[in-house]
Amino acid sequence: MLIAFCGIDGTGKSSHSKEIGNWLRNKGIKIKDSNLISDNHLFYDTFKQVTNMYEEKYEEDTDEGFSVLLAFEFFRRAKEVEKDISDGIGIIADRWTYCHYAYNYARNVNNKFANLLLDSCCKPDLVFLLDLPVNAALERIDRRGSRSYNETTEVLEKAREKYLEIAKEEKAIILDSADSFEYNQKIIKNIIKDKFEI
């Protein structure tokens, strides 16, 4: 079982994935929560250090180089996920490779090596795309604190466009993140029950 939650920043991915992980654990199912890249992860801290070093030395961004580094880490972590699944552990993913594709598109990055790594990662059994207009997402982001590198109107608009395109290709379940958390949880849980006969 691999269930992924995707969407632009501010749509509630983390909240929904955490709730679903807890719900499945309460049903006696072995579950691990996974965030391929997170602020608490050693890789992310090192990655920020390296990107700062580069930008200070060369006074420019290198979105393509950074994309490859992130794709490599996604690939490495996806291998760990595959092992967990083969050991009978279900994975609830707060973000998946689709997030990287969406933000690469938003930043006009199309790197063959990064794409190869991402394409080689295992595919989720279910993908939930939490969709929300960018202005509403930014309002949520502003309420929780300062904006990150990707949290601009331009980047989020393009990322959202790509997410909706990917959702069609991957047959993702699109949820309106403007609906209540409880309403969307009910939909998510019913879909999971049907899919996995829980």
- pLDDT tens digits for range 71-85: 998 999 999 999 999
Kindly state which CATH superfamily the domain 2-196 is placed in.
P-loop containing nucleotide triphosphate hydrolases (3.40.50.300)
Q: In this predicted model, which residue has the larger pLDDT, 65 or 15?
A: 15
Q: Would the annotation count 142 as a binding residue?
A: no
Query: Is 7 marked as binding a ligand?
Result: yes
Neighbouring CB atoms inside 10 A of 60's CB total 7
Burial class (CB in 10 A: 0-12, 13-18, 19+), 99: buried
Phi, psi of 102 (to 5 degrees): -65, -45
Q: Is 152 marked as a binding-site residue?
A: no
Q: Is 21 annotated as a binding residue?
A: no
Burial class (CB in 10 A: 0-12, 13-18, 19+), 140: middle
pLDDT tens by residue, 92-147? 999 999 999 999 999 999 999 999 999 999 999 999 999 999 999 988 888 888 77
Is 123 one of the annotated binding-site residues? no
Q: Residue 163 in 3-state DSSP? A: helix
166: annotated binding-site residue?
Answer: no
Spans of all domains in the chain: 2-196
* pTM, 2 dp: 0.88
Q: What is the CB neighbour count within 10 angstroms for residue 104?
A: 23
Instruction: Count CB atoms within 10 A of the CB of residue 153.
Output: 11
**Is 153 labelled a binding residue?**
no
